[in-house]
Amino acid sequence: MISFLHSSAVNGINAYLIDVEADISSGLPVFSIVGLPDTAVKESRDRVVSAIKNSGFDFPAKKITVNLAPADIKKEGGLFDLSIALGILVSSGYIEKKSVQKICAIGELSLDGKLRPVKGLLPIVLSLKKFGIKKVIIPEGNKNEASVANDIEIYPFANLTETVKFLKNEIKVFPFTGSCESDENQNTAPTVDFADIKGQFLAKRAAEVASAGGHNMIMIGPPGSGKTMIAKRIPTILPPMSFEESVETTKIWSVSGLIQAGESLVKQRPFRSPHHTTSSIALIGGGSYPKPGEVSLAHNGVLFLDELTEFRRDVLEVLRQPLEDKIVTVSRAKNTLSFPASFMLIASMNPCQCGHYGDVNKECTCNQYQITKYRSKISGPLMDRIDIQIEVPALKIDEITTDKQPVSETSHEIKQRVIKARNIQYERFKNTKIYCNAQMGPKEIKKYCILDDKAKELLKNAIEKLGFSARAYDRILKVARTIADLADSPDILPVHIAEAVKYRSLDK
């Protein structure tokens, strides 16, 4: 007898419906699976046989063929174990055919029949309705993640035995309706705060402006000046993610296996800080089963590249495309996949090889040639995509030791201003694909960054006097727009231009 069931696979972050056909016929007892790559077949076959036996069912001593179609969709992992096991139990007459109609079954089996959580469940459950599926059976550990989809009935189970009892109507189970809103484990208060940082008012303000407008930022300064400290506190002042942003980010985390059992949505903006030894594939994504890279895991959040000059140059160069397009495209033999990658780049670097160029506390031992060579590690086109470029000088010894610091603002206070400025931008770019000032193109800059004569004059003078490159012009306008938004000013005033000019300290 032959049975039909549904399962699903993910390629990139897109889900596909997979038809699982299981045929049992008389003949020598062989169990073969077609439509899966070789190694995956063997492993899945072993797990399914053991799980069926150890759950107390007979494993038919007949010729069993399971086909996973379409064959040309690349399939990976244990996602299909449950549908294969159920298919065999239907074909052997243990479960009625009609009880698996319009059901999608997903889950990896352990040898004793337990259902293990799988990667990539969120993109799957969000797509099932459009495939005409009404019910989905999933591992218990995936239930909170799955509950984000509210247009489908979700049935989580701990093991194969329970699943079979449910399909045979031996137990009554109601669809899971847990709310993904009440996820308490993520609401832990951050342990770091901008109030921890002494001095560095320019850098702290620059971090506020960057967060308000979604601008990329690089900090240059000697070791120990607080660059890493500042970067790590940026998530504490970013505006909260919208539900849509949360779902986008969670899909990427889900296919990467970063959603822990019991978790649902990623609600905090991601903060990714890959080490400088990272490969370009780890950073950008790819591989034979294409996986999202750090730039995509940072989607809607921060990508922090500490000690930027330590990264390999070719690794840094691959950043240019996602910085420009906000998406990563991975080409495969048969198809092209894309992963969203809209992130705020925060970078830090030393001013020179020895680290002390411009340091008041220690002398720099580099010559001009070494300094130029060191700076040229970061290419012009990459630097060009960073709106805010500031120096973070070393604190003077007495600034560090004194207790009489001017009061530092808390992250909470700064965040309130950031949120207000972002709301102005959401309103400004309503019904467009732009979310914040940093994403403005030439057209939007022309429309929203209008300067009066005084401001124009000031900017012209600054460009002439400080020798800014032509490309700095648009960057200053965008940053000035954000500074004006922080001040709740519809117009960009000279004072806003003056502040924006300060954030181009390297671009001279």
User: Which of 229/498 has CB closer to ligand ADP?
Assistant: 229
DSSP run (H or E) holding 68: strand 63-69
User: Which of 50/228 has CB closer to Mg ion?
Assistant: 228
What is the DSSP track for 227-272? HHHHHHHGGGGSPPPPHHHHHHHHHHHHHTT-S-TT-----SPPEE
357, interface contact from ligand ADP, Zn ion, Mg ion, none, CB < 5-8 Å by kind: Zn ion
Q: Smallest gap, in angstroms, from Cβ of residue 383 to ligand ADP?
A: 19
User: Which of 239/351 has CB closer to Mg ion?
Assistant: 351
385, interface contact from Mg ion, Zn ion, ligand ADP, none, CB < 5-8 Å by kind: none
User: Which of 327/364 has CB closer to ligand ADP?
Assistant: 364
d(CA 335, CA 245): 26
Q: Smallest gap, in angstroms, from Cβ of residue 349 to Mg ion?
A: 9
Q: Smallest gap, in angstroms, from Cβ of residue 405 to ligand ADP?
A: 9
Instruction: Output b/e per residue, 396-415; b: 16+ Cβ within 10 A.
Output: eeeeeeeeeeeebbebeebb
Which residue in 228, 279, 353, 489 binds ligand ADP (CB under 6 A)?
228
Number of residues that bind ligand ADP (CB under 6 A): 14
Q: Smallest gap, in angstroms, from Cβ of residue 347 to ligand ADP?
A: 11
Q: Smallest gap, in angstroms, from Cβ of residue 218 to ligand ADP?
A: 12
| Phi, psi torsion values for 129, nearest 5 degrees | -60, -40
Which residue in 19, 97, 135, 224 binds ligand ADP (CB under 6 A)?
224
d(CA 426, CA 434): 8
Q: Smallest gap, in angstroms, from Cβ of residue 351 to Zn ion?
A: 7
Locus of tokens 């671009």: 507
Residues 6+ away with beta carbon under 8 Å from 170: none
User: Which of 36/197 has CB closer to ligand ADP?
Assistant: 197
Cβ neighbourhood burial of 338 (10 Å; 0-12, 13-18, 19+) = middle
User: Which of 78/355 has CB closer to ligand ADP?
Assistant: 355
Q: Which of 154, 184, 151, 147 is nearest to 267 (CA)?
A: 184
- Give the CB-nearest residue to ligand ADP: 226
Task: Tell me the C-alpha to C-alpha distance, in Å, between residue 273 and each of 220, 429, 435.
Answer: 17, 30, 23
Task: Tell me the C-alpha to C-alpha distance, in Å, between residue 335 and each of 84, 152, 287, 288, 395.
Answer: 27, 29, 13, 12, 53
Q: Smallest gap, in angstroms, from Cβ of residue 356 to Zn ion?
A: 5
User: Which of 228/338 has CB closer to Mg ion?
Assistant: 228
User: Which of 81/306 has CB closer to ligand ADP?
Assistant: 306
Q: Which of residues 161-200 bind ligand ADP (CB under 6 A)?
A: 197-200
Position 235 contacts ligand ADP (CB under 6 A): no
Within its chain, how far is the Cα of 115 from the centroid? 27
Residues 6+ away with beta carbon under 8 Å from 463: 472, 473
Q: Which of residues 386-405 bind ligand ADP (CB under 6 A)?
A: 395
Q: Which of residues 321-360 bind ligand ADP (CB under 6 A)?
A: 348
190: preceding bond cis by omega (within 30 degrees): no
Which residue in 225, 250, 264, 309 binds ligand ADP (CB under 6 A)?
225
Which residue in 73, 364, 400, 434 binds Zn ion (CB under 5 A)?
364
What is the DSSP track for 301-359? SEEEESSGGGS-HHHHHTTHHHHHHSEEEEE-SS-EEEEE---EEEEEE-SSSSS-TT-
Q: Is 12 left (phi over 0), alpha (psi -120 to 50) or beta?
A: left
User: Which of 228/353 has CB closer to Mg ion?
Assistant: 228
Joined together, the tokens standing for residue 498 give 């003056």
Q: Smallest gap, in angstroms, from Cβ of residue 346 to Mg ion?
A: 12
Q: Which of 382, 393, 414 is nearest to 239 (CA)?
A: 414
Which residue in 54, 228, 321, 370 binds Mg ion (CB under 5 A)?
228
Taking residue 286's Cβ as centre, other Cβ atoms within 10 Å add up to 21
User: Which of 220/440 has CB closer to Mg ion?
Assistant: 220
Position 273 contacts Mg ion (CB under 5 A): no
Q: Between 336 and 355, how does the x/- string for binding to Zn ion read (CB under 5 A)?
A: ----------------x-x-
Q: Smallest gap, in angstroms, from Cβ of residue 486 to ligand ADP?
A: 22
Say if residues 33 and 79 touch (Cβ distance below 8 Å).
Answer: no
Position 226 contacts ligand ADP (CB under 6 A): yes
For the CA atoms of 223, 229, 235, 238, the dihedral, rounded to the nearest 10 degrees, stands at -80
| Phi, psi torsion values for 248, nearest 5 degrees | -55, -50
User: Which of 253/374 has CB closer to Zn ion?
Assistant: 374
**Which residues here bind Zn ion, judged by CB under 5 A?**
352, 354, 357, 364, 366
**Which residues here bind ligand ADP, judged by CB under 6 A?**
197-200, 221, 223-229, 348, 395
**Which residues here bind Mg ion, judged by CB under 5 A?**
228
